[in-house]
């Protein structure tokens, strides 16, 4: 089951909170619906769709993300396209495909496009880079999966690693708040 919280207050500071909860009989994925974007000036939408759900060969999949919206949407499109060619026997296989999608997006939009546009320069100092300076992606995904091996929730980080949550997971700039509350309020029932 997936739901999206509708943000109705105006003038709030903007925070992405995405939560995935494993329940006895399913998964709940929840997200805020606020997104910022630029069209010459900074803008904000309060009705942005962040949750995408579909089924592939009997597996039920929900994907949501935090970060740059067009990258998240593109990742979901690529995932759906690649998933049609795949048969999932276990949830980990579906998460592995998400890792591959993150790698493909990084290669296409950071490495190759940056090189083609002349943005990528030789790295002179060790340390992490960001999307802005030709380094890593600036978004992450969360997946809720219902496969033959049960219900699973994964967070797929910008470096392309999918981490399985044992009971719950959170993502976004408000993740610290969500983790604090989930650690205290989550119950197996």
Res 118: pLDDT: 79
Task: Say which residue the tokens 């579906």 belong to.
Answer: 94
DSSP assignment letter at 166 = S
pLDDT tens for 160-189 read 999 999 999 999 988 999 999 999 999 887
As a whole number of angstroms, the distance between CA 150 and CA 91 comes to 8
Tell me the C-alpha to C-alpha distance, in Å, between residue 47 and each of 50, 69, 104.
9, 13, 29
Its pTM stands at: 0.80
As a whole number of angstroms, the distance between CA 107 and CA 144 comes to 25
Query: Could you give the count of Cα atoms lying within 13 Å of 1 in the half-sphere of its Cβ?
Result: 8
Counting Cβ atoms within 10 Å, is residue 138 exposed (0-12), middle (13-18) or buried (19+)?
middle
SS3 39: coil
Find the Cα–Cα–Cα–Cα dihedral 49, 54, 60, 66, rounded to 10°: -30
Confidence of residue 85 (pLDDT cuts 50, 70, 90): confident
Task: Say which residue the tokens 């593109």 belong to.
Answer: 74
For 90-137, give the secondary structure using H, E and C: CHHHHHHHHHHHHHHHHHHHHHHHHHHHCCCCCCCCCCCCCHHHCCCC
pLDDT tens for 14-64 read 678 899 999 988 999 998 887 777 778 877 777 878 899 998 888 899 999
């Amino acid at each position: 089951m997936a739901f999206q919280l509708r943000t109705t207050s105006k003038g709030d500071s903007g925070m992405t909170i995405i939560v995935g909860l494993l329940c006895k009989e399913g998964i709940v994925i929840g997200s805020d619906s606020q997104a910022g974007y630029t069209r010459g000036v900074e803008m904000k939408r309060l009705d942005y769709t962040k949750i995408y759900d579909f089924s592939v060969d009997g597996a039920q999949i929900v994907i949501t993300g935090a970060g740059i919206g067009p990258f998240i949407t593109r990742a979901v499109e690529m995932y759906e396209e690649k998933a049609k060619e795949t048969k999932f026997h276990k949830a980990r296989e579906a998460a592995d495909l998400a890792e591959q999608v993150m790698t493909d997006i990084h290669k296409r939009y950071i490495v190759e496009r940056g090189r083609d546009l002349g943005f990528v320069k030789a790295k002179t100092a060790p340390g992490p880079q960001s999307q802005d300076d030709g380094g890593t992606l600036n978004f992450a995904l969360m997946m809720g999966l219902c496969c033959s091996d049960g219900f699973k929730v994964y967070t797929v980080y910008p470096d392309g690693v999918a981490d399985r949550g044992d009971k719950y997971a959170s993502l976004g700039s408000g993740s610290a708040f969500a983790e604090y509350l989930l650690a205290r309020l989550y119950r197996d029932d």
